[in-house]
């Protein structure tokens, strides 16, 4: 199974991606993890990414696309994957479509988790307190949620129009949310 998991920060994408990866026996792939792996191992792609991140710049879409394609082509992803954190904009959707066509691996579904803005703010504040994350100030959280709403949320319409979207309420018990996702995916992809 090849899945995207999308939703605003704090909705539980990483948690659900890990549970789904275990359930389906496929890797959960986070673009953040891909970057950290390539940078840590000083791969050519990682060194190129560092040339941007070391200056505090965003890694351009072209490099992000290359790193994602490289990761999806690895042996452990041959039978499927869950991609978290990509695509983030319309040009990345086009790039993903092209790379999946080249790899001969069509996308099965897109899981979209959602929660009320106040719930997300509360979760992120709790995470900041528990993990001591200085980057999770109320202002920074609000900015990231606004960026998601402006740039990434509109992508859900693309996948809805393609009949690939599985919308799931991200509020509730973790196991219940996972059960809802699995039930919806099994019905859609069966």
**What positions carry a catalytic annotation?**
13, 88, 127, 133, 144
State the binding site for AMP. 31, 36, 57-59, 85-88, 92, 133, 144
Binding residues for ATP: 10-15, 127, 172
Cα separation of 78 and 72, whole Å? 8
Tokens matching residue 97: 């479509």
Residue list, annotated binding site = 10-15, 31, 36, 57-59, 85-88, 92, 127, 133, 144, 172
Backbone φ, ψ for residue 8 (5° rounding): -70, 160
């Amino acid at each position: 199974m090849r899945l995207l998991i999308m939703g605003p920060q704090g909705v539980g994408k990483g948690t659900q991606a890990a549970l789904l990866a275990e359930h389906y026996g496929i890797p959960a792939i986070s673009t953040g993890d891909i970057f950290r792996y390539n940078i840590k191992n000083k791969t050519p792609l990682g060194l190129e990414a560092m040339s941007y991140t070391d200056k505090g710049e965003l890694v351009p879409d072209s490099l992000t696309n290359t790193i994602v394609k490289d990761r999806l082509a690895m042996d452990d992803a041959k039978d499927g994957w869950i991609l978290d954190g990509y695509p983030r904009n319309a040009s990345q959707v086009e790039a993903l479509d092209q790379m999946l066509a080249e790899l001969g691996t069509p996308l099965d579904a897109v899981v979209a988790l959602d929660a009320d803005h106040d719930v997300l703010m509360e979760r992120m504040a709790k995470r900041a307190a528990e993990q001591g994350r200085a980057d999770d100030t109320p202002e920074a959280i609000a900015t990231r949620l606004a960026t998601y709403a402006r740039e990434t949320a509109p992508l859900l319409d693309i996948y809805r129009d393609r009949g690939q979207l599985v919308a799931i309420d991200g509020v509730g018990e973790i196991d219940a949310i996972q059960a809802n996702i699995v039930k919806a995916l099994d019905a859609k992809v069966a």
